Amino acid sequence: MKSVTLWPMQAKPVPSPAPPAASSFARVSLAIYTLLIVYASWYPFSGWRDMGIKPFDYLWARLPYYWTGFDVWTNIAGYAPLGLLLVLAMYPQLRARWAIVPAIAAGVLLSACMEAGQTYLPTRVPSNLDLLTNSAGVTLGALLGAACSRYFLRESRLLLLRQRWFSSEASRGLVVAALWPLALIYPQNHLFGLGHLVPPLSGFFSDLFDTPIDLATAWLNNAQLGAEQYWLADIIVSACGLTGASLLVLLLMRRQAPRRRLVGLYLLGCIATKSLACALFFAPQNAFVWISPSAMGGITLGAMMLAGLSWAPPVAQRRVAALALILSLVVTNAVPVNPYYISTLETWVQGKFLNFDGAAQFLSVLWPFLAIWFLYHPVHRKQK
């Protein structure tokens, strides 16, 4: 009888936990928010000149005699998200309290450079008080980011819900989707007519060649459309803008997510943001001034398209979303400006909101290109 050699059972190796991953959402949000701060700080980007003052002389100047509590709280509120995003973006290289000091240093340095750049803008005034309040905002945001980082960057319920409902490649797309309601704040020629390049390009070339240049007049040759044609353009742009943005949100979700309810809540949030902006920058009674027969027609058509396309495969949704946004861009820039839109801009309140006005206009121009980039980028085509 042959002897049987019994080998001791080898224990299965215990898999080591996955290393903590960086937050793409935080880092992309930080990049975009920094870009908005730069644009808002140096808006309107015209009249650059050397006034014989060194860029950092404002640091040793006396504090301004005239300032308001509104200015102070606006600066603090504007830079607090920067401090929070800096702390979240440094994870996992620097965690929680270890990221506070580097985040504050980076935010203060950015604010100091923004104020220094205003030395060369005749319409802006560099201020050491602005630097102090901006630094206070960054500090507050960094402390808040360190305190709540475990709720966003670790195994929190919010993170688990995000992993359950949204695909692994959704971080950048969530940033793009979150910017859409903010981009709608600035008045548009059409309800969802983002990406209107003609006005900012006219201003850029006018400053570049030091002579007034109106691209709308040169390109469209003073063309005027009838009321029916303006209505048709408004319907097309509104329907395409709604369809493109909503499909982008749908593409970020997994099949088990309550997709239609989330998209419905997303659209309601966009409407609330648009109405609140109209009430704030025009007048409270004008909260729903954006509602017009053509805009409602576009919303109805877009909702019908979305209802049918919500059952389509992701590849078809992605292509239709990109084509809808491209068509909206083409019509927005090809159709002459509606006279009603010009009168609307004349009542748009800037004043204390000058910085916000510049950032809002920039975001309204940037968003469709950012969305199209996301839809066509190979890294973002993975759908699970």
- Residue pointed to by tokens 């029916």: 228
Which segment of 9-23, 104-118, 159-173 scores lowest on mean pLDDT?
9-23
Q: What is the mean pLDDT of residues 74-91?
A: 90
Q: Is 50 exposed, middle or buried (0-12, 13-18, 19+ CB in 10 A)?
A: exposed
Whether the per-residue pLDDT at 284 is higher than 70: the answer is no
Q: Looking at residue 64, what is its pLDDT?
A: 80
Q: Has residue 200 got a pLDDT over 60?
A: yes
Query: DSSP alpha helices (H): ranges in the chain?
Result: 24-42, 69-89, 100-117, 128-153, 157-165, 170-183, 198-209, 215-220, 227-251, 259-281, 293-309, 314-334, 339-346, 354-376
- 8 A C-beta contact, residue 126 and residue 64: no
Between these two residues, 369 and 351, which has the higher pLDDT value?
369
Percent of the chain with pLDDT over 70: 78
14 pLDDT band (50/70/90 cuts)? Answer: very low
Q: What is the pLDDT of residue 1?
A: 47
* The pLDDT value given to residue 361: 81
Higher-pLDDT residue of 279, 104? 104
**Res. 211: pLDDT tops 50:** yes
More confident residue, 139 or 311: 139
Could you tell me if residue 138 is left (phi over 0), alpha (psi between -120 and 50 degrees) or otherwise beta? Answer: alpha
Q: Per-residue pLDDT averaged across 10-14, rounded?
A: 50
Q: What is the mean pLDDT of the chain?
A: 80
Check pLDDT > 60 for residue 346: no
The alpha carbon of 252 is separated from its chain's Cα centroid by a whole number of angstroms, namely: 17
Mean pLDDT score, 332-344: 68
Confidence band of 218 (pLDDT split at 50, 70, 90): low
pLDDT at 345: 53
CA geometry: angle 17, 98, 174, nearest 5 deg = 65
> At residue 222, does pLDDT exceed 60?
no
The Cα-based distances of 203 to 43, 119, 223 in angstroms read: 12, 21, 20
For residues 107-135, average pLDDT:
90
Residue 336 main-chain phi, psi, to 5 deg: -60, 155
Residues ≥6 apart with Cβ < 8 Å to 228: none
Q: Is the pLDDT of residue 328 over 90?
A: yes
Tell me, what's the pLDDT at 220?
56
d(CA 253, CA 327): 25
Is-cis flag, bond preceding 314, omega within 30? Answer: no
pLDDT at position 137 is 94
My answer on whether omega of the bond before 44 falls inside 30° of 0, hence cis, is yes
* Confidence tier at 46 by pLDDT (50, 70, 90): confident
